[in-house]
Structure 1
Amino acid sequence: MGVSNNITALLNFLALLCSIPIIGAGIWLASKADNECVHYFRWPVVVIGVLILLVSLAGFVGAYWNRQGLLAFYLFCMAVLIVILLVLLVFAFVVTRPDGSYDVAGRGYKEYRLDGFSSWLRNQVTNSANWNKIRTCLANSNVCSKLTQDYSTADQFFAAHISPLQVQPISSSPIPHPFSLLLR
């Protein structure tokens, strides 16, 4: 067996080992109680883990025992997986690139307007069925409760450098803002 086959077999064996925790994470997500935050990631994580397992197994067997058919299948599948990942990467950049932010004088954070985001993302958020799921996910997270623990006054909150998820205009928010009582 040549050096290139040894390297290919070793890399595919490592990928095979890495696919096991991915599958385990997908099964763990699938076994959790229904949660809107992870609902869409349950089975795709398992499927991605199984695909990585199968492709790396084909690459390992093909390289270790010098099976040309399996190596050709492995190369084709890897090319398809790379193209799919590149398409997803480009889609993610196109959808999330315009961030809708603008500076606010006297604040340590930026304000965000829905009009500044991509039309696809804007349509996903403004769809009432999707917004109810997003709201449920945010309500189940500790984002708002952590804010009240970290900032005891409104002045501390307004001077803080916080993430876009933590900043939302109080008047337009369907979720009660932790400082809505302080700011009235």
Structure 2
Amino acid sequence: MAKISNIIITTLNFVTTILSLVAIGIYIYLHFINESPTHCQKMVELPILIIGLVLLLISLLGLIGSWCQISSLLWIYLVALVLIILGWFIFTVFVFFVTNKGAGKVVSGVGIEEYRLGNYNHWLQKHVVNGNNWVQIRSCLVDSKVCDSIDVDYTKNGLDFLKNRLTPIQSSCCKPPTLCGFTHKNATYWEVPKTGPGSADSDCKAWSNEQNRLCYDCKSCKAGVLANLRKEWRHFLIFNGIIIALLFVIYMIGCCAVRNSHHRLLKYP
């Protein structure tokens, strides 16, 4: 069992070393080779590099420590694993609480859900869609052309596009809120009634028929982004639980590898 634990740790860390090199390679491509990176790609460059370097460092500790049976390196590797497990667990609990609040409201007679910013956790409002972050998120929404598919649906299905299942972002960023009382001419072009908007809500004034503006400056768009984030993070919680369990198993195997290295030193000082 002791020798098997060393083989498993060596194999696992060899795989994670390859993954870390892939992450670093992606950073090099985005930062140095890609001649026309989008704003979204620029946003993920630094996180990818940090993840790649940290994963490479920890993987090399485990790989060299288990392959060469160096107890000191394996101890450092185990301490790093404990810190990662604790950090990941705390992050998982935090995500659970900040995404526990928030839901869309089905619009009567239309069948689509619309989202209000006040329905979401205050921390998310303050730290995710605040002024500085929203400039970057808004730029990503425009670059990714999230509203283009609605035009395709409109062309295929006529005015029934609202009855299609819109994503939270499409429902909130690609059209004005229903309470504004605008008349849609096509999927992303809405006409303001001659009597003015049906509501004094600021989102009604923020709406624009320009394709790079639409409702990207609306509070409802921020709410749609948080609704989508909440949905993705809820799914991510399941993934997090699996990762924590896997890291714990790796930690236990690492303990066996440390014990094996220690016994080897006692036997062959």
Q: For structure 2, list consecutive stretches of 5 or more residues without a partner in the other structure.
A: 193-269
Distance 1:154 1:123 in 2: 39
Deviation at 1:90, TM superposition (A): 3.1
Looking at structure 2, the residues matched to 146 and 51 of structure 1 have their Cα atoms a distance apart, in angstroms, of 38
2:197 aligned partner: none
> What is the alpha-carbon distance in structure 2 between the residues aligned to residue 180 and residue 60 of structure 1?
54
Query: Contact (CA 8 Å) 2:39, 2:143: kept in 1 or not?
Result: no
- Please say if residues 106 and 112 of structure 2, whose CA atoms lie closer than 8 Å, have aligned partners that are also in contact: yes
1:78 maps to 2:81: yes
Residues of 2 paired with 1:114 and 1:156: CA distance?
27
Distance 2:63 2:57 in 1: 10
Instruction: Measure how far apart 1:180 and its partner are.
Output: 4.6
Q: Structure 1 residue 84: deviation in Å?
A: 2.4
**Residue 183 (structure 2) pairs with residue 181 (structure 1):** no
For each residue in 1:14-44, what CA deviation from the matched residue of structure 2 results, as whole angstroms up to 9, or x when unmatched?
1111212122223333345564424442112
- d(CA) in 1 for partners of 2:128 and 2:56? 35
The one-character-per-residue Cα deviations of 1:52-88 (angstroms, maximum 9, x if unpaired) are: 1111111011111111001001111111122222333
Rounded Cα–Cα distance in structure 1 between residues aligned with 2:102 and 2:39: 23
Q: Which has the larger radius of gyration?
A: 2
Q: Specify the code of the residue in structure 2 equivalent to 1:165.
A: I
Which residue in the other structure is 2:250 paired with?
none
Residue 157 of structure 2 corresponds to residue 151 of structure 1: no
Higher helix fraction (1 or 2):
2
Q: Give me the whole-angstrom Cα distance separating, in 2, the residues matched to 1:160 and 1:136.
A: 26
What residue in structure 1 maps to residue 112 of structure 2?
109
Counterpart CA distance in 2 for 1:128 and 1:13 is: 42
Partner in structure 1 of residue 165 of structure 2 = 161
1:4 maps to which residue? Answer: 5
Residue 103 of structure 2 corresponds to residue 95 of structure 1: no
Question: Which residue identity does 1:160 align to in structure 2?
Answer: N
Which SS does the other structure have where 1:50 is aligned? helix
Contact 1:58–1:71 under 8 Å retained in 2? yes
Amino acid at match of 1:158: L
How far apart are 1:129 and its partner, in Å? 3.1
2:176 is aligned, of 167, 170, 173, to 170
State the number of aligned residues. Answer: 181
Task: Please report how far the alpha carbon of residue 126 of structure 1 lies from its aligned counterpart in structure 2 after TM superposition.
Answer: 5.7
Identical-pair percentage: 31
- The alignment's C-alpha RMSD in Å is 2.8
- The code of the aligned residue for 1:97 comes to N
Worse-superposed segment, 163-172 or 49-58: 163-172
1:81 to 1:126, Cα distance in 2 relative to 1, 3 A: closer
